[in-house]
């Protein structure tokens, strides 16, 4: 598409970003509000952060969520990457359309349906509901998102590199490990991060698939929010935003440095 | 040197590796996505009992064929009859579809100019802008909805701002209205609308617009006749990616909406967690799936076409 921004383009981008970021900014500012009343400004204070540190139920829920998100994101990354390779690199196989349909369906499936169906499965097979059932549920839902991210990278890179390796006698698995994986690594990492945040954020599917003793952070926040607005929640939010922002900016810097290094190597070799 | 032939087959078409790559995700999804949906279908045809699990009949395979016969004769369509006869459920479906349709329309109207703007931005700025649109999605969804409670409540910032600007004299009620639900939905789903639209606008071939201009077509007309039709696939993908999950949305209407009229996701949640009526909750899920079947199939077709084009 032709480049060049008109006033209209700039305004729409600016308004769009303002709409997306203003509520978050307000939350961050109010997390430093000394007043208990959320709508009254009582001066700057860090008291809600200190209260947060003493809320052991909230901290335990956060720790559960981090472990669930890390485990399910890792499993989803393996499954999702395999599925992407199967869709893009495995050629035609019987049932490919059904396979693709099964991969894309969880992307749009309403969460209440997925959550309910997984719970009924766990009841039917008599599984103890708790930490591991949430991990399985989140793996299932987030793997499809990983597939979409990895798939778009797989189609965009030069296939002749893989073919050259195989022509020289490199077995398929080794080709994948030494040629394909390094090339698609940024997408695999992005997929993992996406899966992690989706799991970390999820209320509905976790509520259905969990059991006693495995309360996640969103479940805890939800029960607090239902009781009314609490300034402590603003503080959690700010912590989470900071963590995500650091993660995303860090990942962006790492990929940029890797790409620069690659470009330099290419120049040196060329 | 290995014993491999000097020129290996270009792609091993039947190796165990290839089989594993296909089978591992396929089996996982079969077990944890397809089978659970079938179980929901089965339980929607069961009846509630006070027991653990709280439904009957149970399939008892240890009794062989008789177990299956008992099971089949025990199935009933009671739950579906209830859904069809109680206006509460029908209204709930209707409301969900109306809110989903209206929100999707607003998302298209807001999302298109943003995606168009990003597609026309300098090449170097585009990844940054795409990330900027996507970033809020990565920060706690629940908390972003919670942020809107702060803004929309009676003494909230929206009323303060509108009064300060002189638009209104007395505070308006925003929270617990459909307006609040739609604001929350549009806010949460905006990235899902902008990104597919951007992807299709970004690919657009400029020579077509130049040709239109050379032939004396005014810019606005070229936009309608060239740009809009060529970005229709992206718009459709974005609209479906929003419409389908919105129709089953639970968190946003639960936190921002009123308590008198529920969306179907809330109805399902209530039947399951409060009334403990698993068969009715399952029937609600299956009926929702049937209603959404057509949009889901269209979405799948678009995804598959996208896959084949590359």
What tokens appear for A124 in the block?
């039917």
DSSP A213: T
Instruction: Concatenate the DSSP letters of all residues of A108-142 into one string.
Output: HS-HHHHHHHHHHHHHHTTPPPSHHHHHHHHHHHH
Which of A114, A107, A108, A113 is CA-nearest to residue A151? A107
Tens of pLDDT, residue by residue over B267-294, are 999 999 998 889 999 999 999 999 999 9
Which stretch, A6-15, A66-75, B69-78, has highest mean pLDDT?
Answer: A66-75
pLDDT at B35 over 70: yes
Whether A237 sits inside 8 A of B17 (CB atoms) is: no
* Out of B39, B122, B194, closest to residue A117 by CB: B39
> Mean pLDDT, to the nearest integer, of B102-121?
95
| Domain residue limits, chain B | 84-309
Those of residues 122-181 in B touching chain A at CB distance below 8 A are: 122-123, 129, 131-133, 135-144, 146-151, 153, 155-157
Kindly state whether residue A68 falls inside one of the protein's structural domains.
yes
Kindly state whether residue A262 falls inside one of the protein's structural domains.
no
Kindly state whether residue A189 falls inside one of the protein's structural domains.
yes
What tokens appear for B164 in the block?
């300060």
Q: Give yes or no for a contact between B48 and B277, defined as CB atoms under 8 angstroms apart.
A: yes
In chain A, the number of structural domains is 1
pLDDT category at A153 given cuts 50, 70, 90 is confident
> Mean pLDDT, to the nearest integer, of A26-51?
82
* Out of A10, A21, A118, closest to residue B136 by CB: A21
pLDDT at B7 over 50: no
Give the rounded percent of residues in chain B with a pLDDT score beyond 90: 41
Give which of A19, A20, A153 to mutate to test B binding, by max B Cβ within 10 Å.
A20
pLDDT category at A135 given cuts 50, 70, 90 is very high
| Contact residues on chain A for B2, CB-CB shorter than 8 A | 169
Chain B CB within 8 Å of residue A1 CB: yes
Those of residues 41-70 in A touching chain B at CB distance below 8 A are: none
Which stretch, A201-205, B3-7, B82-86, B213-217, has highest mean pLDDT?
Answer: A201-205
For chain B, state the CA radius of gyration.
26
B251's enclosing H/E stretch is helix B251-256
pLDDT at B12 over 50: no
pLDDT at A261 over 80: no
Distance to chain A for B139, nearest Cα, Å: 6
DSSP B124: G
Distance separating alpha carbons of residues A2 and B206, to the nearest angstrom: 6
Those of residues 227-266 in B touching chain A at CB distance below 8 A are: 240-241, 244-245, 247-251, 255, 265
Q: Which domain holds residue A108?
A: 60-234
Whether B117 sits inside 8 A of A5 (CB atoms) is: yes
What tokens appear for A118 in the block?
């997984």
* Out of B43, B120, B304, closest to residue A4 by CB: B120
pLDDT at A265 over 80: no
Kindly state whether residue A34 falls inside one of the protein's structural domains.
no
Which of A52, A80, A208 is CA-nearest to residue A152? A80
> Mean pLDDT, to the nearest integer, of B88-95?
93
Question: The whole model's pTM is what?
Answer: 0.87
| Contact residues on chain B for A12, CB-CB shorter than 8 A | 113-114, 116-117
Instruction: Tell me the CA distances in angstroms from B227 to A152, A189, A225, B105, B113, one per residue in order.
Output: 23, 34, 44, 19, 12
Chain B CB within 8 Å of residue A2 CB: yes
| Contact residues on chain B for A21, CB-CB shorter than 8 A | 136
Q: Which residues contact B251 (CB under 8 A, 6 or more apart)?
A: A203, A204, A222, B141, B142, B145
Distance separating alpha carbons of residues B143 and A27, to the nearest angstrom: 9
Distance separating alpha carbons of residues B12 and A170, to the nearest angstrom: 11
Distance separating alpha carbons of residues B251 and B8, to the nearest angstrom: 54
pLDDT category at A132 given cuts 50, 70, 90 is very high
What is B84-309's CATH superfamily?
MetI-like (1.10.3720.10)
Chain B CB within 8 Å of residue A266 CB: no
Question: For chain B, what's the residue count?
Answer: 310
Per-residue model confidence (pLDDT) at position A53? 87
Give which of A110, A157, A240 to mutate to test B binding, by max B Cβ within 10 Å.
A110
pLDDT at B106 over 70: yes
Chain B CB within 8 Å of residue A172 CB: yes
Chain B CB within 8 Å of residue A190 CB: no
* Out of B25, B123, B138, closest to residue A3 by CB: B123
Kindly state whether residue A54 falls inside one of the protein's structural domains.
no
Distance to chain A for B85, nearest Cα, Å: 22
DSSP B20: H
A164/A74: higher pLDDT: A74
Q: Which residues contact A53 (CB under 8 A, 6 or more apart)?
A: A59
């Amino acid at each position: 598409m032709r480049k060049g921004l008109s006033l209209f383009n700039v305004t729409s981008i600016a308004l769009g970003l303002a709409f997306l970021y203003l509520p978050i900014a307000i939350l961050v500012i109010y997390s430093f509000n000394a007043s208990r009343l959320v709508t009254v400004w009582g001066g700057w204070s860090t008291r809600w952060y200190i209260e947060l540190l003493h809320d052991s139920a909230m901290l335990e829920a956060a720790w559960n969520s981090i472990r669930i998100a890390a485990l399910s994101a890792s499993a989803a990354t393996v499954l999702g990457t395999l599925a992407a390779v199967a869709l893009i690199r495995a050629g035609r196989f019987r049932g490919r359309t059904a396979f693709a349909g099964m991969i894309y369906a969880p992307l749009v499936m309403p969460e209440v349906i997925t959550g309910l169906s997984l719970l009924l499965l766990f009841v039917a097979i008599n599984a103890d509901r708790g930490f591991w059932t949430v991990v399985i549920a989140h793996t299932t839902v987030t793997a499809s998102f990983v597939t979409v991210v990895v798939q778009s990278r797989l189609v965009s890179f030069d296939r002749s590199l893989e073919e050259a390796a195989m022509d020289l006698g490199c077995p398929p698995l080794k080709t994948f490990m030494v040629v394909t994986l390094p090339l698609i690594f940024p997408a695999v990492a992005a997929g993992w991060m996406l899966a992690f945040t989706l799991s970390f954020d999820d209320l509905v599917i976790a509520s259905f698939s969990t059991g006693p003793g495995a309360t996640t952070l969103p479940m805890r926040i939800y029960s607090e929010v239902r009781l009314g607005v609490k300034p402590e929640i603003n503080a959690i939010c700010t912590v989470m935003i900071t963590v995500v922002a650091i993660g995303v900016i860090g990942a962006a810097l790492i990929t940029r440095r890797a790409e620069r290094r690659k470009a330099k190597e290419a120049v040196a070799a060329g | 040197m290995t014993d491999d032939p000097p020129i290996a087959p270009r792609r091993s078409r039947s190796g165990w590796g290839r089989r594993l790559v296909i089978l591992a995700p396929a089996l996982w999804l079969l077990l944890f996505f397809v089978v659970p949906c079938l179980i929901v279908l089965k339980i929607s045809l069961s009846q509630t009992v006070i027991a653990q699990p709280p439904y009957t009949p149970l399939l008892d395979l240890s009794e062989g064929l008789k177990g299956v016969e008992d099971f089949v004769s025990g199935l009933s369509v009671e739950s579906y009859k209830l859904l069809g006869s109680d206006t509460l459920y029908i209204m709930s479906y209707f409301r969900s579809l109306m809110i989903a349709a209206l929100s999707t329309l607003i998302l298209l109207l807001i999302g298109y100019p943003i995606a168009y703007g990003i597609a026309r931005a300098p090449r170097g700025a585009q990844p940054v802008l795409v990330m900027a649109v996507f970033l809020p999605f990565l920060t706690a969804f629940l908390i972003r909805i919670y942020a809107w409670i702060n803004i929309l409540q009676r003494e909230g910032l929206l009323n303060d701002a509108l009064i300060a600007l002189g638009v209104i004299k007395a505070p308006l009620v925003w929270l617990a209205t459909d307006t609040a639900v739609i604001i929350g939905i549009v806010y949460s789903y905006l990235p899902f609308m902008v990104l597919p639209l951007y992807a299709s606008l970004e690919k657009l071939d400029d020579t077509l617009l130049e040709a239109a201009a050379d032939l004396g077509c005014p810019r606005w007309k070229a936009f309608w006749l060239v740009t809009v039709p060529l970005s229709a696939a992206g718009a459709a993908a974005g609209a479906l990616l929003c419409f389908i999950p919105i129709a089953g949305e639970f968190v946003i209407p639960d936190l921002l909406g009123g308590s008198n009229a529920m969306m179907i996701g809330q109805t399902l949640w209530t039947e399951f967690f409060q009334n403990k009526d698993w068969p009715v909750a399952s029937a609600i899920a299956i009926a929702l799936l049937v209603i959404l079947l057509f949009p889901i199939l269209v979405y799948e077709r678009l995804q598959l076409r996208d896959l084949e084009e590359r």
